[in-house]
Structure 1
Amino acid sequence: MAMNNSENNNGRIMSLGTFLALYIAQFVPSSFMMTALQVTMREGKYSLAVIGLLNLVRLPWLVKFLWSPLVDRHCLTVGDYKKTIISCEAVYALALLFTGFFDVKSDLLLILILFFISMLASSTQDIATDALAILSFRKQDRSLLNSMQSMGSFGGTLIGSGLLLMVLHSYGWHVVVPCLALFVLLMLIPLLLNRHITIEAKKPENKAKLADFIWFFSQRSVWPQIGFLMLYYMGIIGIISTLRPYLVDHGYSMKEIGFLIGIVGTASSFVCAWFSGVLLRRIGLHRARVLFAVCILSAPCYFLLLSFFPFSKVAFLIGIIYVQACYGLATVVVYTSSMQCVRPGREGTDFTVQVVISHLSGMFIAVASGSIGQWFGYEGIYVVEIAVSAISLIYILHFFKAKKDTISDL
């Protein structure tokens, strides 16, 4: 029995490491490419309007629910999932490799097309990875799994948009980007070596249909979750989206802002994503959902309080660390609760739909914050964020109830 428990623990640790590697493989290249292209294009005297259009290459990540049923329908066994993930990673790496051969200033259109293809491949890999993760982990282990997912995204962002930018200045585009392609392939090694991943065979009646992303909304039981996904991030995303302009207004350079937000802030999210997964196992999903909602509510309150006093670098740095910590905590709750609302045979589709909802709500409040700040200043943004956070907390207390067993709900 002791040997079996030891083997199970080793298998779980190896599987957690496998999924961490897959999630990091998604975010390091994409975060680097977005940041590097923005900087390089600006240095090349491109207008802000043209640089803003660069965000369109991320479109596959916002509409990936359209082809997620195809992944669910095709992938029936662990072997199917592995083949899908490996194929997508190969396309991802190949697109990055070719991107490194071109020059940003003279071949921008080709680079954007290849970047779009890489985003299409990585978003499809993400669907398969999420579905395999849901099927291969028990409910009580999903909080730790979602810590790996969140840590992969924050760690990838930290490396891609922070550390690699420094490397770019030393070695150049034609060296760093092909190395990223090699990095993507190396992150497949844990998956190739891991024989501990097992799933139950899918039943024929649960086979996904092409329009299953629509039928997800036909379930009456998921509507409280949809409201939760729309509200939970809103209280901090508006603040996070205005941190950089605020620091610019106070005379900070691009390098200083990159360090404070891209490295210090993201590192805070990374650490708190791990802590969130551990805490969820101890106190349960409902208590964590409420606790972190209170933390989110206090973030805009803190920034509103700061606005009544002269600017303090230390006080604002504490605010950056705190709001990014809240983001790390909340992300694990969002992912864990989303895994609870998937239908058999449609795991990738249902999880993808929920993640897209949370991203769209975040995009909405980020855009709205710009207009609010234009008319009412940063104080107006903080007041709106306080109101949204309070509504989110009340919504959670009304629609979600605590369970006696704090572990089984994970």
Structure 2
Amino acid sequence: MTRGARLLLFSALYLAQGLPYGFFTQALPVLMRDAGYSLISISATTFLFVPWALKFLWAPYVDRYGTRRRWLLPLQLASAIGAALLAGIDFSGSLRLVFVALLIFNLLAATQDIVTDGLAVILLGPRDRGLANGIQVGGYRLGMVLGGGLLLWIYGLAGWRPMFATMAILLGLTVLPVLGLHETPRAPAVEVAPARHAWLRRLRQPGFPMFAMLICFYKFGDSMGAALVGPFMKDAGLGLAQIAWLKGTLASAAALLGAAAGGWLAFSFGRRTALLIGGLSQTLSLALYAAAASGIGAYPLIAGACIAEHVLGGAATVALFTLMMDAADREHASSDYTLLACAVVIAQGAATLSAGVVAQLFGYAPMFLASVLLSACGCLMLITALDRGRGPARLRAVWRAQTAS
């Protein structure tokens, strides 16, 4: 494949992941809050994202068997068909079927993510990973804001069926770039342990558990603050159209800008600078939400916080994902990257539950303030540990080279 075709492919694949994820994590909480659900109940839906936390269990099979095209085509088609089927169901009486759909979509998207991340590690060299992760995060966040903004706007205008029909069309379009992916069948990787135990062997690599723990700390505070932004906007008096505008049009442009900024930082200045600037700047966006929740600034500050969240958070995520690719071994790309991604998902789930409990008991402002402190501490902990040589050997080599250059 040409470079342009590869970039289009990755953009489509990550957008396909972000689209349903954006709806279920951004639009659905707003709809649940509108229906009278408590913040704890809303945050409890994080348990339906369990496939993202457990995907390391089947990642070794993706590394071993078939081509990635044979994995991607049925997964992409199943997501599009699933959304089309949902368009034929009336959800006005209950959200239970939506929760079932959420679990199924997460299973499909988590498996697709295993394939896509492994493909990225194999096709991209260390120099290109920063820019490529900018495309990854840009595509994923664009999918999220389409799911959390555009689809919410369509729901407000026309209801469930047109919304899911739009989702099906968009997911169907992301299948097209996969048709141009051609690979030779891969020989099964040589493993001492059987595939069902391979993930445990990968987890035991020297420095790997420590690095997984550090990236969890890096993401916890940011995830805690972002978890209840939609319900906060709803409780602050914003209507569905306003929320859709903020989390759709404005957030879409901001997400692309943030992804581009993160890719440029990682490519031009190295991992350390990108990680430091991205991590501390995303903390600033959480501080804006804390100020808005304290009664300062009203709608203009909420809008500014939303834009800052997507710009600065996008840059921070690019830096983190680039680092995770550096830590993955090419021969076990899907397994290694998936283990790290699962660690992040587990941290995000814990952060979401924590956000719901803290906000329900103490209010939005204390919850956002706690996320600010945890986000800043997590960023500084990760950078300090990497400066001291923590993490897998292949990551240390790239970190030293990037710091010295």
* Residue 65 (str. 1) matches residue 65 (str. 2): no
Q: Tell me if 1:330 matches 2:324.
A: no
Amino acid at match of 2:110: S
Question: Is 1:293 paired with 2:279?
Answer: yes
* Partner of residue 110 from structure 2, selected from 112, 123, 130: 123
The match for 1:275 is 261
- Where 2:374 maps in the other structure, the secondary structure is helix
**Which residue is 1:241 aligned to?**
227
- Which residue number corresponds to residue 180 of structure 1? 167
Normalized against structure 1, the TM-score is what? Answer: 0.81
Q: Assess if the C-alpha contact under 8 Å between 1:233 and 1:358 holds in 2.
A: yes
Please list the CA deviations of residues 6-49 of structure 1 after superposition, one character each: whole Å capped at 9, or x if unmatched: xxxx8112201111011112222443467676677788x68658
Counterpart position of 1:11: 2
Distance 1:244 1:169 in 2: 15
- Whichever residue aligns with residue 296 of structure 1, its letter is Q
2:141–2:255 Cα contact (<8 Å) kept = yes
Larger CA deviation: 318-327 vs 378-387: 378-387
1:222 corresponds to 2:219: no
Structure 1 counterpart of 2:346, which letter? L
- 1:301 Cα shift? 4.8
Which of 127, 142, 145 pairs up with 1:155? 142
Q: Which has the larger radius of gyration?
A: 1
- Alignment-derived partner of residue 210 in structure 1: 196
CA distance in 2, matches of 1:174, 1:297: 38
Task: Decide which of 400, 406, 410 is 2:402's aligned counterpart.
Answer: 406
Distance 1:108 1:381, change over 3 A: closer
Name whichever of 107-116 and 179-188 sits farther off.
107-116
Amino acid at match of 1:11: T
SS in 2 for 1:233: helix
Matched, 1:87 2:83: no
Would the alpha carbon gap of residues 316 and 47 (structure 1) be closer, same or farther in structure 2, given more than 3 Å must change?
A: closer
Q: Which runs of 5+ in 1 are unaligned?
A: 1-9
In 2 relative to 1, CA 32–313 (structure 1 residues): closer, same or farther, beyond 3 Å? closer
Q: Note if contact 2:281-2:312 (Cα within 8 Å) is conserved in structure 1.
A: yes
1:318 is aligned to 304
Say whether the 8 Å CA contact 2:56–2:338 is kept in structure 1.
Answer: yes
Percent identical pairs in the alignment equals: 23
2:59 counterpart letter in structure 1: S
Cα distance change, pair 105–289 in 1 and its aligned pair in 2 (3 A)? same
Q: Deviations over 1:84-116 (max 9, x none)?
A: 111212222332232223222469666654554
Query: How much has 1:296 moved relative to structure 2?
Result: 3.4
The alpha-carbon deviation at position 249 of structure 1 amounts to 4.5
Cα-Cα RMSD? 3.6
Please say if 1:363 is aligned against 2:349.
yes
Determine the structure 2 residue equivalent to 1:3. Answer: none
* Deviates further, 333-342 or 21-30: 21-30
Task: Structure 2 unaligned segments of length 5 or more: list them.
Answer: 388-397
* Distance change (3 Å), C-alpha of 1:239 and 1:82: same
Alignment-derived partner of residue 251 in structure 1: 237
SS of residue in 2 equivalent to 1:389: helix
Aligned 8 A contact 1:32 1:157 in 2: yes
Query: Does the Cα contact within 8 Å between 2:150 and 2:244 map onto a contact in 1?
Result: no
Indicate conservation of the 8 Å contact 2:49/2:103, yes or no. yes
Alpha-carbon distance, 1:127 to partner: 0.9
* Structure 1: distance between partners of 2:21 and 2:380: 36
Stretch deviating more after TM superposition (177-186 or 215-224): 177-186
Distance 2:26 2:377 in 1: 34
User: Conserved in 1, the CA contact under 8 Å of 2:121 and 2:330?
Assistant: no
Q: Which moved more, 1:307-316 or 1:89-98?
A: 307-316
Shift of 1:202: 6.8
**What is the distance in 2 between the residues matched to 1:200 and 1:11?**
21
- 1:67–1:291 distance in 2 versus 1, CA, 3 Å: same
C-alpha change, 1:350 and 1:379, in structure 2 (3 Å) is same
Q: Are residues 100 and 297 of structure 1, via their aligned partners in 2, closer, same or farther at CA, if it must alter by over 3 Å?
A: closer
* Residue pair 2:150, 2:248 contacting (<8 A) in 1 also: no
Contact 2:21 2:147 survives alignment (8 Å): yes
Secondary structure of the residue that 1:204 maps to in structure 2?
coil
Residue 358 of structure 2 is aligned to residue 372 of structure 1: yes
Deviations 1:371-399 (A, max 9, x none): 33455544533443343234224323421
Q: In structure 2, what is the Cα distance between the partners aligned to 1:169 and 1:321?
A: 22
